[in-house]
Homo-oligomer: A and B are copies of this chain.
C-alpha cells in the first residue's frame, strides 16, 4: 500500500540526519498523496540508520493504523490535525535543529532580514506558544499561527514545516535552520535591519514565479 509514498517519506526522513537537522532518533517526516485520506509517517523513536521504506506506517486521518507493524511517530496526532485542516499540505517535517530551536527556546520569530528569508518564507518565520507533546495540541498551534509561511517554531520545543510534498517540507526545514544560523550570528553582534515589506513581497513573488526550472 502506497509503496511510492513510503519510499519518498523514507528518503526525506533519512535526509534529516544527512542535513544535520536531528540527533539520534528525534525528528520526523510524513507525507500524503494529494487528495488521499491516508498519511505515511515515520515509526516512533526508530534509529534512522536502521529504518527502511517498509517501516513507514500508513494511518488514516483519524490515526487508525492501516498498514505497518511499527508504532507511528508520537507526533502523529498533530500531523493529522494539520492534514485535516489544510488540504494544500501534503508533507510535514519536525526537527529540533539547533539554531532554529534556539529561537523557539526564546519564543522569538526569525525576522525577515535576509533576502533568502523573504524568498522562501515571504516574511518573518513565526513562533507559536508552548503546547504539550502527544495529542493534537501541536497541530492546532501550527494551524493557528503559521499563516502563509511554510515553517513555524513552537516555544520551548522546535521547528515544524509544511509543504505541497514531503520534499518541499524538507527543503523548508533546511532553509529554516540555514536562516536561523545566519540571523543568530548577526544578532550576537548587532541588530540586523528587517527588509521593507515591499521588498519582501517582491522577492517572495519573484522566487515563487521565476526561480527554478
Contact = CB atoms under 8 A, between A and B. Distances in A.
Interface of A: 23-26, 43-46, 70-71, 74, 96, 98-99, 101-108, 113-116, 119, 130, 132-134, 155-158, 171, 174-175, 177-178, 181-193, 195, 199, 202-203, 206, 210-213
B203 A132 contact: yes
A28 to B, nearest CB: 12
A101 B115 CA distance: 11
Nearest to A187: B189
Contacts of A74: 206, 210-211
A175 B24 contact: yes
A106 B189 contact: yes
11 contacts: A45-B212, A96-B114, A101-B114, A105-B182, A105-B183, A105-B185, A106-B191, A108-B190, A132-B202, A134-B210, A155-B193
Nearest to A194: B156
| Copies of this chain in its oligomeric complex | 4
Given A174-B24, A189-B102, A213-B45, A203 B113 contact: no
A158 to B, nearest CB: 7
B102 A186 contact: yes
A70 B175 contact: no
A105 B113 contact: yes
A143 B206 CA distance: 24
Nearest to A172: B24
A185 B184 contact: yes
Contact of A206 (B114, B133, B188): B133
Nearest to A46: B213
A109 B186 CA distance: 13
B116 A96 contact: yes
